[in-house]
Amino acid sequence: MWNPARLTFRSRKVPPVLSCFLAQKAADTVTLIPVRKDGLDAWLETAPAATAAWVRSVGFTAEPGATALLPSADGQLDRVLVGVGETLDLWSFAGLPTTLPAGAKGAGASYALDDSLTPEQATAAATGWALASYRFTRYRKATKDLPRLVLPAGADAAAVDSMARAVYLVRDLINTPAEDMGPADLAATAKELGAEFGAEVSVIVGDDLLAANYPTVHAVGRAADKKPHFIDLTWGDAANPLVCLVGKGVCFDSGGLDIKAAGGMLLMKKDMGGAAHVLGLARLVMAAKLPVRLRVLVPAVENAISGNAFRPMDIITTRKGLTVEIGNTDAEGRLILCDALAEADSAKPALILDFATLTGAARIALGTDLPALFANDDQLADDILAAAKETGDPLWRMPLWQGYAKQLDSKIADLNNAPGGGYGGAITAALYLERFVTKGTPWAHIDLMAWNASAKPGRPEGGEAMGLRAAFAMLSRRYPAQA
């Protein structure tokens, strides 16, 4: 179960996600012993005198994430004390794969948690270990082996596998440079997922977008050599509730004619992070066989500059029929999303959830680690936030403050895509998107960074899944899989 078929990205093989686990202990497997700070003295009292003296001598105080390596009588690594917090969660052991001794080259060390974990804790610990074992090796081989963990007793191997694969997929897509992750590559990934799970995938490309009435997607993407794509994946019984996922797929954002400064472009390969998230979430939903009719819409473009690039003060008629004046070509994400949201809304879904690396304003308000959640439905927002708290996958609700809606006004069109003034930018962007969702259709919008600016246990620097576990937990509660 923990050695599934390999995934492919442009024919490059990706190692099985759960190769970081062993099915059973080996003779030299080292036991990991979690110890809370307030329980260390009690543990030391029961330990042999020499062991207790060693732990004290190395200054181990059971701070969360700290370790003390305990040798055996013959000088081999025997056990490891691991400092943990009051509760054991996803990240309690996630710092270990990159800090514990990995063993001799080619052999590798193996570790096992003691038998004190509940099934829920065991599943969380294994998931954290798997996420911490991620490495992006498409362009450079790993320089060292990582240790492996014996899959803890009681852990749900299928759940660990599914979540790790989804997060790996999100990270890989975001980390891949735009030259190798353009609109066609996102479409290829969606087709691979469709083939794996029996979903239907259709793709509209280039000028065909005009004939299909996706004018804003075409306008934003038409200047690039890599043609814009509109990706549409559907899965599940049509009799089940329709859940629509929409992801911003700007594979690179130059800013268009309102060009970004060089520093502002450095992370723009991640501007398709919303698309990566909905593909990862779709993988989770399909693997769990949730009883929904799933539809995933990804407008995929590169916002480039050429003689036919869309211009400031142009007016575009959207799929919904609303006209939009272009206040800034660097506010392109909401333009491609509005056509996708209008299409999602037209099918009268049970809910719409979109992910987008949409605004710097959300990062200014909440920082890089905390995605902003907007919703037009309080129950949907409450359900997502409850799932976020339970899974330790944080989100923070921000208001769809209607007092700012007037900022979207244009003198010559129905809307302006980039209000002036510079204030409340995340809110006005969300209010813009709200105009393309029918009142009464539950809709939530997650404005996220999709990137770890620095490494944390289990979360290496680079592309990151944010809000993914929370969204899946919410969907799993609303639409529980049948036994």
**What digits encode the pLDDT tens for the residues 380-393?**
999 999 999 999 99
Mean pLDDT value across residues 176-185: 98
pLDDT digits (tens, 9 = 90+) for 118-169: 999 999 999 999 999 999 999 999 888 899 999 999 999 999 999 999 999 9
pLDDT digits (tens, 9 = 90+) for 293-342: 999 999 999 999 999 999 999 999 999 999 999 999 999 999 999 999 99
453 contacts 368 by C-beta, under 8 angstroms:
yes
pLDDT band at 27 (very low <50, low <70, confident <90, very high): confident
Q: What is the distance between the alpha carbons of residues 324 and 317, in angstroms, rounded to a whole number?
A: 6
Residue whose C-alpha is closest to residue 430's, from 298, 388, 419: 419
Residues with a catalytic annotation lie at 260, 334
Q: Where are the alpha helices (DSSP H) in 63-182?
A: 119-132, 157-175
Q: Where are the alpha helices (DSSP H) in 234-347?
A: 262-265, 273-288, 333-346
pLDDT band at 446 (very low <50, low <70, confident <90, very high): very high
Task: For CATH 3.40.630.10, list the domain ranges present in the chain.
Answer: 161-478
Q: Which two tokens stand for residue 272?
A: 């398709």
What is the third-level CATH fold of 21-155? Answer: Leucine Aminopeptidase, subunit E; domain 1 (3.40.220)
Tell me the residue type at 275.
A
Q: Where are the alpha helices (DSSP H) in 222-346?
A: 262-265, 273-288, 333-346
pLDDT band at 253 (very low <50, low <70, confident <90, very high): very high
Burial of 142: CB neighbours in 10 Å, binned 0-12, 13-18, 19+: exposed
What is the third-level CATH fold of 161-478? Answer: Aminopeptidase (3.40.630)
Mean pLDDT value across residues 426-441: 98
Task: For CATH 3.40.220.10, list the domain ranges present in the chain.
Answer: 21-155
Predicted structure pTM score: 0.95
Please provide the average confidence, as pLDDT, over all residues in the chain: 94
Residue whose C-alpha is closest to residue 326's, from 274, 275, 257: 257
- In the sheet with 21-22, reading across from the earlier edge strand, the strands are 21-22, 148-150, 110-113, 30-36, 77-84, 67-71
Q: Which two tokens stand for residue 105?
A: 């080259």
Contacts of 34 (CB under 8 A, 6+ apart): 82, 83, 84, 88, 92, 93, 113, 114, 116
Please identify which residue in the block is written with the tokens 């749900």: 156
Say if residue 1's pLDDT is above 70: no
